[in-house]
Structure 1
Amino acid sequence: MKFTQKDLDGAVRAGVIARETRDALVAFLEGGRAGAPAFTMANVLYYLGGLIVIGAMTIFVTDAWQRLGGLGHLGVGAGYGLAFLAIGNWLWNGKGQRVPGGILVTAAVCMTPLTVYGIHELYGGWMWGDPGMYLDFYHWIRRGWFFMEIATVAVGVLVLRRFRFPFITLPIAFSLWFMSMDLTAVLYGPDFTWDQRKIVSLWFGLAMLVAGYLVDRRTRQDFAFWLYLFGMLAFWGGLTSLDSDSEMGKFVYCCVNLLLMGVSVVLQRRVFIVFGALGVSIYLGHLAADVFDDTLSFSFALSGLGLLIILAGLQYHKRREAIEEKALGLLPAAIRRTLPRYR
């Protein structure tokens, strides 16, 4: 059931709720149940401008940046970072404009890799060898980037303690995702194998998912979204790229993805069902292309299975609360109490 502003005004006139209660409820709903900013044209422009600023100083840099040298990289990274931080703090505290202020603070955190790169280049302090141009940071897996990623995570966490703005978790989670790839070169050296990279990515991604679970719904604001997203990229990417010559291994892969789809219901997070559905589709594609390639009935059986799933979805929609309550009742009480929905 949905309620409009008109319905709430009518409830005030009828004496069902007080005007102050109506105002507090409207403010809460406009802010979003998870603390998300209202979807307005102003906020769209804020985020669009912020993403352009961040992209211009990160993934959209060109080869010409290398001509700046270490001092230039340090000056641009630290200068822009401090400027973004100062303006963002002024908007946040001085003007009460938390959305544009928080976005600029996020942009300040995103300047950390360039700043650290400039320090390394200026003083020649590459622990694992010179990784190359700053442009390559977003393109190549090299262990020389590791301290740039650690610094970004550290700065992001420190800034997040001062500015409780969920978007700041984007550069933190993004850097952790990059770290999951570069960590392989740190642990195994530059001659690491792709199997080693897959395993590290899988376990690192799982750790990020656990971190997202621990912070999920601790506050009204959503600080877990980016951890879940990039954690799934690392975990699911490592899992999917693992080679398995056995049909049992491929079937286990399908079961893991089905489990992810179930987790999406328990945690109420769509990101799990998206990746889980992709994984199941990959497995079904394998069955169609390799196992039942010469079997005409497979396509008909698969379409029938799809219809059964749709019917199951209809039944689930009708009895959602009872089914979820029963499913949650199967979990041990100690685990059930830790679920984000009960926090």
Structure 2
Amino acid sequence: MNFTKKNIEDAVNEKILSFEQSKKLIEFLKKQPNTSPKFDFTHVLYYIGGMIAIGAMTLFMNLGWESFGGIGIVFISLFYGSVGLKLTNIFKSKGLAIPAGICGTFVIALTPLAVYGLQQALGVWPDDSVYREYYQYIKWHWLYMELSTLAVGIIIAWKYKYPFLIMPIAVTLWYLTMDSTVMINGGDYNWELRKLVSIYSGLLMIALAFWIDIRSYKKADYAFWIYLFGVISFWVGISLQHSDSELSKFIYFMINLLMIFTGVLIVRRVFVIFGALGCSGYIGYLASDLFKDSWLFPITLTLIGLFFIYLGVLWQKNELVITSKARSFLPQALRELLESKHA
């Protein structure tokens, strides 16, 4: 829970703290290192600068770099990487966790470029594709770049332990599932298979994120990025499924409702956002197709909406009793995680 000056002043008014204690507490909090991400101008500048630097060596890489040849690309990548690691260590020594994590992420993002250059230098690059296509197309031979990125990412994340370092690892896991599908399928870009792989790989990433969440919630939010790309992969996979069965469409709606409930339970907004999108899509389908000419449909939706509001009122009145009883049946580690989220 984040405390504001107003919260402390309210505590003084309620005689929980004395005025002198509140002043000392405010001074103490001001002296603490600013290590967690916040939406302020300083952190916005950090992330803008970091994403520009990372984007320059990834998404926005142009064909001009091909003129350096494989060896040239390898040496330039190593030079940039050494600078990135040096800056990471400098910022770490100064207690600046956010820029340190961004610089470490920059090093991880350089890995596929270095591996691409090495493959070009060794003459083992299999076709005429170029590095910039790594972020645009699905190809089996990106696997070497992805596996190398995962290895470097895990090493750097283990050494520095900044949550933002997990971002390129999560992205690479997502890429890896898509490219490995093409390889397993013998180079065939089977759309149905890719949708199924998206669903199951998303579920695996969500399970991995949940495991990380339970193990590390007392330290930092290392699970955020894996949750994000896991939910995206799963939700896109189920949303692209096609069926003429009304039952299948209703099951899709219920899955999205379950995502919303899960997001509220473990305090992960990404589940709620995508679950709400899915529910909205289903309701939009009902309005535009199944009940297109029914005057009862808007009235029914209104009643359903009011019913949910009523459920919210009941939940607010009985939340402590319900959650206390429900959590008593959960494993200790999961109970502690949920209690920390709602502290």
Bin for the TM-score computed over the shorter chain: 0.7 to 0.9
Match of 2:301 in 1: 302
Q: Answer yes or no: is the 8 Å Cα contact 1:143–1:186 preserved in 2.
A: yes
Which of 193, 204, 212 is matched with 2:190 structurally?
193
Pairing 1:209–2:214 present: no
Structure 1 residue 133 displacement after superposition: 1.2
Shift in alpha-carbon separation, 1:323–1:336, aligned structure 2, 3 A: farther
Q: Answer yes or no: is the 8 Å Cα contact 2:36–2:98 preserved in 1.
A: no
Structure 1 residue 40 displacement after superposition: 3.7
In the alignment, the residues of structure 2 paired with residue 265 and residue 285 of structure 1 have an alpha-carbon distance, to the nearest angstrom, of 23
Root-mean-square deviation (CA), in Å?
2.8
C-alpha offsets along residues 117-166 of structure 1, whole Å, 9 cap, x if unaligned?
1111111334xx43711111111111111121111111111001111111
SS state of the match for residue 331, structure 2?
A: helix
Match of 2:36 in 1: 36
In the alignment, the residues of structure 1 paired with residue 282 and residue 172 of structure 2 have an alpha-carbon distance, to the nearest angstrom, of 30
Same amino acid, percent of matched pairs: 36
Q: Answer yes or no: is the 8 Å Cα contact 2:9–2:22 preserved in 1.
A: no
Write out aligned runs for 1:1-343 (5 A): 4=5, 7=9, 19=24, 31=34, 36-93=36-93, 95-126=94-125, 129-130=126-127, 132-216=129-213, 218=216, 219-329=218-328, 332-334=329-331, 337=334, 340-341=337-338
Structure 1 residue 168 displacement after superposition: 0.4
Q: Answer yes or no: is the 8 Å Cα contact 2:182–2:189 preserved in 1.
A: yes
Q: Answer yes or no: is the 8 Å Cα contact 1:9–1:22 preserved in 2.
A: no
Report the AA paired with residue 76 of structure 2.
V
Using the TM superposition, name which of 315-324 and 76-85 deviates more.
315-324
Shift in alpha-carbon separation, 1:182–1:80, aligned structure 2, 3 A: same
Report the AA paired with residue 58 of structure 1.
T
Report the AA paired with residue 5 of structure 2.
T
C-alpha offsets along residues 157-215 of structure 1, whole Å, 9 cap, x if unaligned?
10011111111011111111111211211211211311110111111111111111011
Report the AA paired with residue 305 of structure 2.
G
Shift in alpha-carbon separation, 1:16–1:42, aligned structure 2, 3 A: closer
Structure 1 residue 22 displacement after superposition: 6.4
Q: Answer yes or no: is the 8 Å Cα contact 1:152–1:172 preserved in 2.
A: yes
In the alignment, the residues of structure 2 paired with residue 176 and residue 131 of structure 1 have an alpha-carbon distance, to the nearest angstrom, of 25
Q: Answer yes or no: is the 8 Å Cα contact 2:253–2:278 preserved in 1.
A: yes
In the alignment, the residues of structure 2 paired with residue 158 and residue 333 of structure 1 have an alpha-carbon distance, to the nearest angstrom, of 33
In the alignment, the residues of structure 2 paired with residue 202 and residue 27 of structure 1 have an alpha-carbon distance, to the nearest angstrom, of 46
Using the TM superposition, name which of 129-138 and 199-208 deviates more.
129-138
Report the AA paired with residue 224 of structure 2.
F
In the alignment, the residues of structure 2 paired with residue 124 and residue 58 of structure 1 have an alpha-carbon distance, to the nearest angstrom, of 22
Report the AA paired with residue 4 of structure 1.
K
In the alignment of these two chains, the number of paired residues is 333
Report the AA paired with residue 207 of structure 2.
V
SS state of the match for residue 189, structure 1?
A: coil
Using the TM superposition, name which of 173-182 and 73-82 deviates more.
73-82
Q: Answer yes or no: is the 8 Å Cα contact 2:5–2:26 preserved in 1.
A: no
Structure 1 residue 307 displacement after superposition: 2.9
Shift in alpha-carbon separation, 1:25–1:111, aligned structure 2, 3 A: same
SS state of the match for residue 311, structure 1?
A: helix
In the alignment, the residues of structure 1 paired with residue 259 and residue 54 of structure 2 have an alpha-carbon distance, to the nearest angstrom, of 32
In the alignment, the residues of structure 1 paired with residue 242 and residue 45 of structure 2 have an alpha-carbon distance, to the nearest angstrom, of 44
Structure 1: unaligned runs, 5 residues or longer? none
Q: Answer yes or no: is the 8 Å Cα contact 1:180–1:234 preserved in 2.
A: no
Shift in alpha-carbon separation, 1:285–1:37, aligned structure 2, 3 A: closer
SS state of the match for residue 333, structure 1?
A: coil
C-alpha offsets along residues 35-54 of structure 1, whole Å, 9 cap, x if unaligned?
62454422221111111100
Shift in alpha-carbon separation, 1:338–1:214, aligned structure 2, 3 A: farther
Shift in alpha-carbon separation, 1:115–1:281, aligned structure 2, 3 A: same
Shift in alpha-carbon separation, 1:298–1:112, aligned structure 2, 3 A: same
Using the TM superposition, name which of 220-229 and 130-139 deviates more.
130-139
C-alpha offsets along residues 255-295 of structure 1, whole Å, 9 cap, x if unaligned?
11111111112211111111111111121122222221222
| Structure 1 length-normalised TM | 0.87
